[in-house]
């Protein structure tokens, strides 16, 4: 195990291959010349940073020190003074045949100086094809089921960084050429990859070129109408849907249409919608939403709203329309939209909570007490939720509530075996500030979790009993071993010392533990660090 490859891929950016317990990990570290400013590691460790980062940092320092020592003996500047331009060019060309990183570095730095005789533009498409054809992946590049560990492709990152640099440095035309070629070649290459590999490739390779194009198209140097026509024709190719680029193309096309005052975007969406039979489907909703977004961006909110009102078969649109009616106090119309939808879902009640929430809002506006009781109870029937509990409580008089709250507690008790702890009952007692009753309930079901969560309700009124329960619960908890257990114990001690009389009891418990658990070295170390 250890470092198998250590390379500075660009100034102060290092890429490392590390053979670990679960295969070969890819590690990237960026420095400011002295200290690390960013890093990533594909290992499955839950620690941050993982143990590999300091190992690699030490190796980088060692490599830099070695390079500095070598440079004192002979510097590259001195060496190249006596090398002819032809010799240097021949060397770079020869080495680039065997060193892909060197070849990419040269292309990144100097490609823009080379113009194609026919188009006066660099053939970036061919450059990307060559770079992508040289890539190879195996299952060591995959994060063992952890989708947070994406495959990163250095050559693509470098070209996208170059496009972004051109965009920032007022060279938008070159940035556009890179992005267009990148999109075209990446989509074609992506189709050819194994499905397992595709799942792990970083999604930023789809998003970043469109981000740059969106950034630069307002620039004067860009022929925005030509870019619009490019989008309109290119995005129809099937490879972009398969590569997951279609939505990004649509967003760019929409922005270009708004900027040019063109209706081409809407025309395309209408054509796509005609081909869809089910107008309530996910695809139909996406198309309609794109039209809505277009009209909103184009400062035509009335047209956007017209689409919503005419397509209430889309649940999200119906919700939006219902909320608008409620805001406008058109409660009858709002209730009809809600009830019609719920009746359509008679055989499937999943996902209806938001609709019942809207019904509850209407009932509150109408001060319909029976309906408020019914709907708010629906939300707390299967478990305590404070916001709906408060609404339910307010629908009763004070005298009525005394009986209603006991019925609610009984209801929660029936849902579970009464010999088990029920957090819903505890939550009700906490909300009602029934301190002594909650204390007895916690005592009946004594555990550090329950005590930690609810002790603040009754500790001020019953400090001695609370301390007694903490001691008993922690003593039982301490019978289990493990560093996490010991660290939890001192956190519980910290809560105890804040209760009247707690400091003395905690001090005695620590002294007792140091005697009976003296062979637990980890526990002793943690206890010794705890300050009362």
pLDDT digits (tens, 9 = 90+) for 238-281: 999 999 999 999 999 999 999 999 999 999 999 999 999 999 99
Beta strands per DSSP E along 98-141: none
Rounded to whole angstroms, the Cα distance separating 527 from 485 reads 12
76/2: higher pLDDT: 2
- Examine the domain organization and report whether 214 and 278 are in the same domain: no
- pLDDT tops 50 at residue 147: no
- Residues pairing with 39 in the sheet: 29
432/25: higher pLDDT: 432
CA proximity to 231, closest of 270, 262, 204, 202: 262
Helix residue spans in 432-518 (DSSP H): 435-444, 448-458, 463-477, 483-496, 502-516
- pLDDT tops 90 at residue 122: no
- Examine the domain organization and report whether 223 and 285 are in the same domain: no
- Residue 101 falls inside a structural domain: no
pLDDT in tens, 123-144: 889 889 988 887 777 655 555 4
Rounded to whole angstroms, the Cα distance separating 282 from 147 reads 25
| 49 prior amide bond cis, ω within 30 | yes
Q: Give ∠ CA 176-177-182 in degrees, rounded to 5.
A: 95
Task: Please tell me the least confidently modeled range out of 314-318, 356-360, 410-414, 509-513.
Answer: 410-414
Percent of the chain with pLDDT over 70: 88
pLDDT in tens, 479-511: 999 999 999 999 999 999 999 999 999 999 999
CA proximity to 449, closest of 429, 428, 476: 476
- Examine the domain organization and report whether 138 and 202 are in the same domain: yes
- Domain containing 136: what range? 115-255
CA proximity to 175, closest of 127, 226, 122, 129: 122
**Residue 90 — very low, low, confident or very high, per pLDDT cuts 50/70/90?**
low
- Residue 433 falls inside a structural domain: no
- Examine the domain organization and report whether 248 and 162 are in the same domain: yes
Rounded (10°) angle between helices 282-297 and 246-260: 30
CA proximity to 183, closest of 246, 133, 122, 120: 246
- Examine the domain organization and report whether 268 and 249 are in the same domain: no
pLDDT in tens, 409-451: 999 998 777 778 999 999 999 999 999 999 999 999 999 999 9
- Residue 170 falls inside a structural domain: yes
Rounded to whole angstroms, the Cα distance separating 309 from 303 reads 10
- Examine the domain organization and report whether 225 and 305 are in the same domain: no
DSSP state of 257: H
- Examine the domain organization and report whether 250 and 268 are in the same domain: no
> Would you state the pLDDT for residue 127?
86
- Examine the domain organization and report whether 303 and 231 are in the same domain: no
**Residue 11 — very low, low, confident or very high, per pLDDT cuts 50/70/90?**
confident
- Residue 226 falls inside a structural domain: yes
pLDDT in tens, 184-209: 999 999 999 888 888 888 899 999 99
- pTM for this one? 0.68
175/24: higher pLDDT: 175
Question: DSSP letters of 279-326?
Answer: TTSHHHHHHHHHHHHHHHHTT-HHHHHHHHHT-TTSHHHHHHHHHHHH
- Examine the domain organization and report whether 122 and 247 are in the same domain: yes
- Examine the domain organization and report whether 225 and 288 are in the same domain: no
Residue 264 CB contacts under 8 Å (≥ 6 apart), including other chains: 228, 232, 253, 257
Instruction: Specify whether the CB–CB gap between 270 and 282 falls below 8 A.
Output: no
Q: Compute the Cα dihedral for 68, 69, 73, 74 and give only its sign.
A: negative
Number of folded domains that form the chain: 4
- pLDDT tops 50 at residue 118: no
- pLDDT tops 70 at residue 519: yes
**Residue 117 — very low, low, confident or very high, per pLDDT cuts 50/70/90?**
very low
| Burial degree of 370 (CB within 10 A; 0-12, 13-18, 19+) | exposed
Residue 422 CB contacts under 8 Å (≥ 6 apart), including other chains: 412, 413, 415, 416
Residue 383 CB contacts under 8 Å (≥ 6 apart), including other chains: 424
- Residue 187 falls inside a structural domain: yes
Rounded to whole angstroms, the Cα distance separating 203 from 211 reads 13
Rounded to whole angstroms, the Cα distance separating 30 from 357 reads 49
> Would you state the pLDDT for residue 8?
87
- Residue 179 falls inside a structural domain: yes
526/194: higher pLDDT: 526
pLDDT in tens, 148-158: 567 778 888 88
Among 57, 82, 107, give the residue marking a domain's end. 82
Rounded to whole angstroms, the Cα distance separating 473 from 478 reads 9
Percent of the chain with pLDDT over 90: 64
Rounded to whole angstroms, the Cα distance separating 300 from 524 reads 70
- Residue 33 falls inside a structural domain: yes
Mean of all residue pLDDT scores within the chain: 89
Residue 216 CB contacts under 8 Å (≥ 6 apart), including other chains: 167, 172, 175, 176, 222
> Would you state the pLDDT for residue 35?
87
Question: What separation, in Å, do the N-terminal and C-terminal C-alpha atoms of the chain show?
Answer: 44
Residue 297 CB contacts under 8 Å (≥ 6 apart), including other chains: 254, 255, 258
> Would you state the pLDDT for residue 145?
47
CA proximity to 463, closest of 492, 488, 495, 423: 495
Question: What DSSP element (H or E) covers 390?
Answer: helix 386-394
**Residue 473 — very low, low, confident or very high, per pLDDT cuts 50/70/90?**
very high
Q: How many CA atoms lie within 13 A of 215 on its CB side?
A: 20
- Residue 398 falls inside a structural domain: no
pLDDT in tens, 153-174: 888 888 999 999 999 988 999 9
- Examine the domain organization and report whether 250 and 282 are in the same domain: no
Among 211, 233, 255, give the residue marking a domain's end. 255
Among 29, 60, 82, give the residue marking a domain's end. 82
What's the mean pLDDT in 75-100? 68
- Examine the domain organization and report whether 208 and 122 are in the same domain: yes
């Amino acid at each position: 195990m250890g470092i198998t490859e250590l390379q500075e891929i660009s100034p102060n950016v290092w890429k490392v291959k590390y053979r670990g317990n679960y295969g070969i990990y890819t590690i990237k570290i960026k420095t400011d010349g002295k200290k690390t400013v960013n890093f990533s590691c594909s290992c499955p460790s839950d620690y941050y940073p993982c143990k590999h980062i300091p190992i690699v940092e030490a190796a980088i320092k060692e490599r830099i020190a070695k390079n500095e020592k070598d440079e004192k003996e002979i510097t590259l500047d001195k060496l190249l003074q006596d090398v002819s331009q032809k010799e240097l060019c021949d060397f770079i060309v020869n080495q680039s045949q065997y060193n892909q990183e060197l070849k990419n570095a040269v292309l990144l730095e100097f490609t823009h100086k080379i113009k194609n005789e026919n188009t006066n533009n660099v053939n970036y498409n061919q450059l990307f094809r060559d770079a992508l054809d040289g890539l190879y992946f195996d299952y060591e590049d995959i994060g063992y089921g952890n989708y947070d560990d994406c495959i990163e492709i250095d050559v693509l990152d470098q070209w996208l960084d170059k496009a972004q640099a051109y965009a920032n440095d007022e060279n938008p035309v070159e940035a556009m050429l890179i992005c267009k070629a990148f999109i075209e070649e990446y989509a074609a290459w992506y189709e050819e990859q194994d499905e397992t590999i595709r799942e792990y490739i970083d999604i930023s390779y789809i998003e970043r070129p469109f981000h740059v194009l969106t950034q630069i198209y307002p620039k004067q140097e860009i022929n925005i109408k030509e870019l619009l026509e490019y989008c309109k024709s290119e995005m129809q190719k099937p490879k972009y849907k398969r590569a997951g680029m279609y939505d990004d193309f649509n967003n760019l096309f929409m922005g270009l249409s708004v900027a040019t005052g063109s209706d081409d975007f809407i025309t395309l969406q209408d054509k796509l919608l005609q081909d869809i039979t089910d107008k309530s489907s996910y695809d139909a909703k996406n198309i309609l939403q794109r039209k809505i977004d277009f009209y909103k961006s184009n400062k035509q909110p009335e047209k956007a709203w017209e689409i919503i009102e005419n397509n209430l078969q889309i649940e999200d649109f119906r919700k939006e329309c219902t909320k608008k009616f409620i805001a406008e106090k058109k409660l009858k119309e709002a209730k009809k939209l809600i009830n019609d939808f719920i009746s359509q879902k008679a055989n499937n009640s999943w996902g209806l909570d938001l609709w019942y929430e809207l019904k509850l809002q209407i009932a509150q506006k109408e001060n319909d007490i029976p309906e408020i009781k019914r709907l708010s109870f629906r939300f707390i029937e299967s478990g305590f939720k404070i916001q709906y509990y408060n609404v339910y409580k307010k629908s009763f008089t004070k005298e009525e509530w005394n009986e209603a709250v006991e019925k609610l507690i009984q209801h929660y008790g029936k849902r579970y075996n009464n010999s088990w702890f029920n957090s819903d009952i505890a939550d009700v007692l906490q909300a009602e500030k029934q301190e002594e009753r909650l204390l007895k309930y916690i005592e009946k079901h004594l555990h550090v979790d329950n005590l930690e969560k609810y002790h603040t309700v009754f500790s001020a009124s019953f400090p001695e009993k609370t301390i007694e329960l903490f001691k008993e619960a922690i003593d039982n908890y301490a019978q289990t071993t493990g560093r996490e257990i010991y660290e939890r114990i001192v956190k519980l001690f910290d809560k105890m010392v804040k209760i009247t009389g707690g400091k003395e009891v905690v001090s005695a418990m620590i002294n007792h533990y140091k005697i009976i658990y003296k062979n637990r070295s980890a526990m002793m170390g943690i206890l010794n660090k705890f300050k009362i």
